[in-house]
Amino acid sequence: MADWQEITGGITAPRGYQAAGITAGLKPSGLPDLALIFSEVEAIAAGVFTTSQVKAACVEYCRQRLQAKQSARAILCNAGQANAATGTQGYLDTLESALAIAQALNISSESVLLASTGVIGQRIKMDALRSGIPKVVAALSQTGSDAAAGAIITTDLVTKSIALETTISDRPVRIGGIAKGSGMIHPNMATMLAFVTCDAVVSPHLWQQMLARAADRSFNSITVDGDTSTNDSLIALANGQSRTPAIIEWGAEAEKLEAMLTAVCQHLAKAIARDGEGATCLIEVEVTGAHDELSARQIAKTIAGSSLVKSAIFGRDPNWGRIAAAAGRAGVPFEQENLQIKLGNFLMLENGQPLQFDRGAASAYLKKAATGAYLQQDTVLISVNVGNGHGVGKAWGCDLSYDYVKINAEYTT
């Protein structure tokens, strides 16, 4: 069993954090579009960002900030405009945004991190942002996580939030998180944003390492459509307000903290994959028997990202041949006579040989997932074994429906 429990509160569950989300007029829809996360004290900060060569101004800004100073107190996120591919003026807008929120909070602009989401090629509506900053600061609350989660979404159908609590040195330690993402989701920072708060005391070096590994096992292991965004950002703060002893080296406490951090990130990542544009179910792929974890994850991600596999799941067609083909092209060597494939509890291929199975029942299994409870009974499990190695890896995706094309064909019109 996990050495933690789920609690309420999202990103404001850990001690010493406030959050807010307001409507500033950035989105044409008039929905909430400006979020703020604030630590009452300086917090250790870590980040993982898109690997795209075309990066939003906020990504470049955050990378420079974290290289110069591995701490922060505030994260400001606007929705509506991505501020990516907006040239020099887009970066100047970012600098102005950081300075404006810093002045409103009476902190240094070096303690501000930024994120943006929306349409690529559009600058932030600075007049709306300027007028919204005093409002979002005034709205800060220790119960503001839900409002912040609602203000960062774009095409998402649901908000995404989680908080967990464990015990370290006989004191409670909490990690909370919110995320957004629905389309343009693919490994290499799966458009997605995720913000994590923690009240443990941890060294900057360890916190960054923990976050990078957690990202690989969560956000870098999901796919919706094969497209990596310009704005993908995962930012995590640890402010030490749990008053636990500092974690400065690897050991049992560091392992427990990283495991809980990974669990938070995996929950948010699965929520993003399940909310894939037009999706009707979540797909979870587990690969065993590979040489190492990296190889297993590579096969799993290839299967989860296969358009043919995703289409078959949407059509409720238990076509295991598409799974086998995707595994074979993942770029990971294995002997095909060792290949085993299961869909739920249906064993379809064993030792590289096809088996008889109840196709009607297997199709019914897929149909049932499409009507199951959110992130509970709505998951299609694909299990693949490729040999006798110790490598185990997971990836998550969603089915590919007609609505995905409709949503993205009309995105800016």
- CA 91 distance to own-chain centroid: 25
Burial annotation 60-81 (CB, 10 A radius, 16+ → b, else e): ebbeebbeeebbbbbbbbbbbb
Query: Who contacts 5 (Cβ-Cβ below 8 Å, separation ≥6)?
Result: 164, 165, 166
Per annotation, catalytic residue among 86, 117, 154, 191: 191
Active site residue 191: yes
Q: Report the C-alpha gap between 73 and 380 in whole angstroms.
A: 40
DSSP structure string for 341-379: EEETTEEEEETTEE----HHHHHHHHHHHTTSPTTTT-E
Q: Report the C-alpha gap between 53 and 228 in whole angstroms.
A: 10
Which of 376, 189, 181 lies closest to 284, judged by CA?
A: 376
Q: What token pair was written down for 58?
A: 């906020």
Alpha helices by DSSP H, 45-144: 57-68, 87-105, 126-138
Q: Report the C-alpha gap between 88 and 97 in whole angstroms.
A: 14
Question: Strands 391-398 and 282-290, how do they pair?
Answer: antiparallel
Phi, psi of 227 (to 5 degrees): -110, 125
Asked if 304 and 285 count as a contact pair (C-beta separation under 8 A), the reply is yes
Q: Which residues are catalytic, by number?
A: 191
